[in-house]
Structure 1
Amino acid sequence: MRALRLAPTNPMNRALLSALVFEVIVFGLGIPGMLLLDRVPVGLAVATTTVAMVLALAAAATLRRPVGYPLGWLAQLAGLSLGFLTPMMFAASGIFALVWAGCFVLGKRIEKQARPDAR
């Protein structure tokens, strides 16, 4: 399970936290897009984006705990799944998923370089 998260002192935690916070905003802005562009029913649009927003908020709030990173990965999947309701969310959430994965990989590289036995 340790492979799915970064150390609490890793500087990439701030970037991951920022990505999650901005995802909450983008997920919320997806509601008008779903309603106006793709005519998704109001209840479905609000319910699905709320789930994605709550996952991203929960991940941001618990990022320093072991449960934070699995919630963060789940938030990425939830964001991408919003694309099935409105294709614009594939692009918006895809960008955030790439930022999340990129920051995570860079954080792992930082941790590897910080270890004295790493080469």
Structure 2
Amino acid sequence: MRTLCSSTLIGEALLIMFAGLVAMKLTDVGTGTIWAVSAVAIALCVLLCGVITRPGAVYVGWALQLAVLAAGLVLPTMYAFGVVFGGLWWCSVHYGRKIDEFKARRAAAESAAAESPVDGAPAPA
């Protein structure tokens, strides 16, 4: 899950940076305000990459997805990007958890196979 979610968050950080550049030119919102909000969101994306496996981090990621969607109030294109990255976030969390479960089952099967005797040889006492 960590790899998929981190990839989505880094892509989202880049999106926020470029959206800040566009919003600076196309909206009446002050440059300082745009960059303050963008910097906080970018920092949150990057920091969340490091703690994504901790409890509650996925929920913070969902809040970030809602914030990107809400950025459509300032820059209407962000509605579309919010939906796209919300879908990517869902896929990252959903399929990332499935991959983690598969890896855990595979590791358990390999450790069980390593512990079992081979070719009918007696188990060591």
TM class, shorter-length: 0.7 to 0.9
Equivalent residue for 2:38, pick from 33, 43, 49: 49
Q: Which residue of 2 is the match for residue 3 of structure 1?
A: none
Q: Which residue of 1 is the match for residue 114 of structure 2?
A: none
- What is the deviation of 1:107? 3.3
**TM-score with structure 1 setting the length:** 0.73
Q: Which residue of 1 is the match for residue 57 of structure 2?
A: 68
Larger radius of gyration: 2
1:78 aligns with 2:67: yes
- What is the deviation of 1:16? 1.0
1:92 aligns with 2:117: no
Distance 1:61 1:108 in 2: 17
Q: Is the 8 A contact 2:16 2:38 kept in 1?
A: yes
Partner amino acid, structure 2, of 1:48: V
Q: Which residue of 1 is the match for residue 9 of structure 2?
A: 20
Distance 1:92 1:83 in 2: 9
- What is the deviation of 1:79? 1.4
Segments ≥4 residues shifted beyond 3 Å: 107-115
What are the Cα deviations for residues 19-57 of structure 1, in whole angstroms up to 9, with x where unaligned? 001111110111111111223211221122122212212
Identity %: 28
Q: Is the 8 A contact 1:80 1:90 kept in 2?
A: yes
Partner amino acid, structure 2, of 1:99: L
Partner amino acid, structure 1, of 2:75: T
Distance 2:60 2:101 in 1: 23
Distance 1:42 1:83 in 2: 17
Q: Which consecutive residues of structure 1, in runs of 5 or more, have no partner in the other structure?
A: 1-11
Partner amino acid, structure 1, of 2:48: A
Partner amino acid, structure 2, of 1:71: V
